[in-house]
Structure 1
Amino acid sequence: MSRPLFRSAAPALFACLAGCNMHQSTLAPFGRDAADIRGMTLLLVGGAVVIFLGVAALVVAAMRAPAGRLTHDGGMRLVLWAGGIVPTVVLGALLVWTLPAMRPAPATPADLRVALVGEQFWWRVAYRPPNRPPVVSANELRLPVGRTVVLELGAGDVIHSFWVPGLAGKMDMIPGRTNRLVVRADKAGRYRGVCAEFCGLSHALMAFDVVAMPPAAFDAWLAAEARPAAPVASAPGAALFTANGCGGCHAVRGTAGTGSIGPDLTHFGARATLAAGILPMTTANVARFVRDAGSVKPGARMPAFRHLSPGDTQAIARYLESLK
């Protein structure tokens, strides 16, 4: 490939390669619905290639045909078969094949429900196991492998869209309405989900982790998640957290923090990322977000605490990391 041609093709090539990852790709499914979507996509792409090659072959044959070989009757037969009969049969077969796939997956009252609410710009999560109180979390979705889970999707402010490419298709999250998406993870691992509907300045910074776990491990995790946090109450960061009114917006079960405006922080330190999946969980990143969330995530509704000294923000960050 010549250098000018490579330079012109490189952006498109690199854009395609950016989608070739294992934790956020429709081509690397870990859920039943995503596997069906991939199969359907590959079939349609393959069919499109066959049609393109067939049309190209007809063009070449027509261009090379000797004079007088192409007749009006022959052209009309080609139009009838290639433009009428064959497309009707193919599209009818595709309709019969795809209609069952559009039917909502079945669920029972015994299945786990997970309520997810899109906020600007984070995810409110509440697990609702049968006959047990809800377990509240944020910015992370955990699923038991091999079990049916009903996701109840809503929004607290503007329209968002829930999309985990490897799990299932997209579904809108609309204020005042609850949409239901039934999913089943078939492979354990850590994956990534995103908001797929423009929702404000930090729409592109609104992601979340999806952790598919073996059923026994998930049950143990959910039981631990339901318990209050066990932080060191005497830590300097705990007093600073309370003194600066953080508990008015954030809940930390087992403490005086009972706010519901912002994400639940009860087991914040056990998460792999912060700020809705955009930063790794480190003391420096937590302190940076506490001091000025808007500089990390433009449009975030969390107020800035620039009046705090670096030592105080570090102390609060270490306290939050202790919440496991």
Structure 2
Amino acid sequence: MRAYALAVLMLAGCAGQQSAMHAAGDQASTLMSLFRLMMWVCGIAYLLVILFLGWGLIRRRSAADTSEQPYHKLMVGWVGFILLGLILLVVASFLADRSLGQRQQVPLQMRVTGHQWWWRIEYRAGNGRWIETANELHLPVGVPVLLELRAADVIHSFWVPNLAGKMDMIPGKINRMTVTGRTSGWFRGQCAEFCGTQHANMALAVKVEPMGEFERWLAEQARPVSPGEGVAAGRKVFESASCVVCHQVRGTEARGRVGPDLTHVASRRTIAAGTAPMTHGSLRGWIIQPQAIKPGTSMPPSDLSPQDAEAVASYLETLR
């Protein structure tokens, strides 16, 4: 029973929305093809080693058989196989690396910046403006997207296993990678470089969707908050509290750049980079005591009264 349970757990990593074995993008498919080739070459070599070992253990040379000729032939054949396998893997690795590093013309450009412990994401709109969101990356199906990867504090690493390989995000340096999603749906990314106490709670939700849906979503994200939008009481509290120092809500007096942009925060699936679901209770708890939900986060505890925190949570729920 334990062996069965262990096998189930191991196989669970071969599929799903955070598995490199379930390729959903061109770059992940390239890496998966290289992995399969390596497994075949190494698997055949391992099998041959086991067969030769078994043959050597069970074979008994007769006293009259003193010829070393068969062993010389086997040795030559084995060395030839090793060289052939190494050449095959080197060539395949070179071609895969060349494919992944190719700087093709891409119609879309996005910026992803790693913070402790969340993701700032910026999209270049059709008019050249940059539209900012957080913790959710939207990609159109079949369209190559150039990602500019940056880090605001410490070294992070961008990794969405279903779509592409890992790439480090280093302070003061811009790394670039092209991602082409081929399968619609939600996928999960993760910071792959230990970056502090909440490294495990630095998730990235990625949605690959048809181009039409992506364009509609981006147009909605580009829209600022209208003057009469939202719960009036909560908006008043939000704009008069310290929230505006760190957060931005386009179309209001909130223009902070320290924390995530909250213009359409309620349209996201989670808060705090995947730490809690996007619900009224989670918003209220995050506003009152974020350290209880994500210890070590840069957001300080709020000095709002329970009534004011409730009003701000109700206001944020309207920002879709």
User: Is the CA contact (8 Å cut-off) linking 1:114 and 1:128 kept in structure 2?
Assistant: yes
User: Is the CA contact (8 Å cut-off) linking 1:107 and 1:150 kept in structure 2?
Assistant: no
Q: 1:105 to 1:70 in 2, by over 3 A?
A: farther
- How many Å separate the matches in 2 of 1:287 and 1:297? 14
Give the one of 93, 96, 101 matched to 1:101: 96
Counterpart check, 1:77 vs 2:73: yes
User: Is the CA contact (8 Å cut-off) linking 1:111 and 1:130 kept in structure 2?
Assistant: no
Q: Which residue of 1 aligns with 2:272?
A: 275
Instruction: Return the letter of the residue paired with 1:48.
Output: C
Q: 1:289 to 1:20 in 2, by over 3 A?
A: farther
Matches within 5 A, 1:145-294: 145-230=141-226, 232-294=229-291
Please state how far the C-alpha of 1:116 moved relative to its aligned partner. Answer: 0.6
- How many Å separate the matches in 1 of 2:4 and 2:169? 36
**Any idea what SS the aligned residue of 1:294 has?**
helix
C-alpha offsets along residues 114-169 of structure 1, whole Å, 9 cap, x if unaligned?
01100000001111246521111111100111111000000000000000000100
Unaligned runs of 5+ in 1: 1-5
Q: 1:274 to 1:187 in 2, by over 3 A?
A: same
Percent sequence identity over matched residues?
A: 40
- How many Å separate the matches in 2 of 1:222 and 1:202? 29
208-217 or 227-236: bigger deviation: 227-236
Q: Which residue of 1 aligns with 2:299?
A: 302
User: Is the CA contact (8 Å cut-off) linking 1:290 and 1:313 kept in structure 2?
Assistant: yes
- How many Å separate the matches in 2 of 1:166 and 1:70? 57
Give the one of 72, 85, 89 matched to 1:90: 85
Please state how far the C-alpha of 1:253 moved relative to its aligned partner. Answer: 0.1
Unaligned runs of 5+ in 2: none
Q: Which residue of 2 aligns with 1:29?
A: 23
Give the one of 112, 133, 152 matched to 2:108: 112
User: Is the CA contact (8 Å cut-off) linking 2:156 and 2:169 kept in structure 1?
Assistant: yes
Q: Which residue of 2 aligns with 1:127?
A: 123
Q: TM-score, normalised by structure 1?
A: 0.91
Please state how far the C-alpha of 1:88 moved relative to its aligned partner. Answer: 0.9
User: Is the CA contact (8 Å cut-off) linking 2:249 and 2:261 kept in structure 1?
Assistant: yes
96-105 or 162-171: bigger deviation: 96-105
Matches within 5 A, 1:50-65: 50-65=44-59
Q: TM-score, normalised by structure 2?
A: 0.92
**Any idea what SS the aligned residue of 2:89 has?**
helix
Please state how far the C-alpha of 1:11 moved relative to its aligned partner. Answer: 7.2
| Matched residues, number | 315
C-alpha offsets along residues 13-55 of structure 1, whole Å, 9 cap, x if unaligned?
3542442442111111111010111122122223322222221
Please state how far the C-alpha of 1:70 moved relative to its aligned partner. Answer: 7.7
Q: Which residue of 2 aligns with 1:3?
A: none
User: Is the CA contact (8 Å cut-off) linking 2:31 and 2:96 kept in structure 1?
Assistant: no
Please state how far the C-alpha of 1:98 moved relative to its aligned partner. Answer: 2.4
RMSD: 1.9
Please state how far the C-alpha of 1:233 moved relative to its aligned partner. Answer: 4.8
- How many Å separate the matches in 2 of 1:323 and 1:159? 32
- How many Å separate the matches in 2 of 1:32 and 1:169? 11
